[in-house]
């Protein structure tokens, strides 16, 4: 006999876990913990399966957007991503990139990243300079 889906039980799970679009690593870790819990649950209910599938979609979207910027990324978004991942503050770039004003323009997307700057940023972040369009 196939268990039937209960909207009320699913609603209760949604209230308990409150899944939503994942925007931070912390939220992603929380969602991963719930998925882990559900993955190891014996005899998952249809409602738990639905929550599990929903969380997997949300996690995949976040991880694709956050960890794999892909072809939609720009030199500016790559810079911001690497700065966040490596905990580099704008003031850390002043000595290597140039003036404080130049760094602020760069971080705010108002300064083009030329070949020379791309090489410098590649060295700083230990990545291929082509990620910055150089």
pLDDT in tens, 2-43: 679 999 999 999 999 999 999 898 999 999 999 999 989 999
Q: How large is the average pLDDT for residues 91-120?
A: 88
The total of other beta-carbon atoms located within 10 Å of residue 38's CB is 18
DSSP code at position 127: S
Write down the pTM of the prediction: 0.52
Angle between helices 115-125 and 75-85 (to 10 degrees): 20
Residue 134 pLDDT > 60 = no
State the Cα–Cα distance between residues 17 and 131, nearest whole angstrom: 38
CATH number for the domain formed by residue range(s) 70-132: 1.10.260.40
99-112 burial code (b ≥16 CB/10 A, e <16) = eeeebeebbeeebe
Q: How large is the average pLDDT for residues 111-117?
A: 88
Residue 124 pLDDT > 70 = yes
Supply 13's token pair: 């799970």
pLDDT in tens, 39-77: 899 999 999 999 999 999 998 888 887 776 555 568 888
pLDDT at residue number 71: 53
């Amino acid at each position: 006999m196939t268990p039937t889906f209960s909207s009320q039980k699913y609603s209760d799970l949604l209230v308990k876990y409150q899944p939503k679009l994942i925007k931070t690593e912390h939220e992603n870790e929380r969602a991963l913990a719930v998925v882990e819990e559900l993955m190891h649950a014996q005899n998952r209910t249809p409602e738990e399966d639905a929550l599990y599938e929903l969380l997997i979609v949300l996690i995949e979207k976040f991880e694709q957007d956050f960890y794999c910027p892909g072809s939609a990324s720009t030199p500016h978004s790559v810079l911001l991503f690497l700065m966040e991942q490596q905990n580099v503050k704008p003031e850390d770039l002043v000595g290597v990139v140039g003036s404080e004003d130049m760094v602020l323009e760069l971080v705010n997307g108002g300064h083009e990243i030329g070949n020379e700057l791309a090489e410098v940023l590649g060295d700083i972040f230990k990545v291929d300079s082509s990620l910055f369009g150089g």
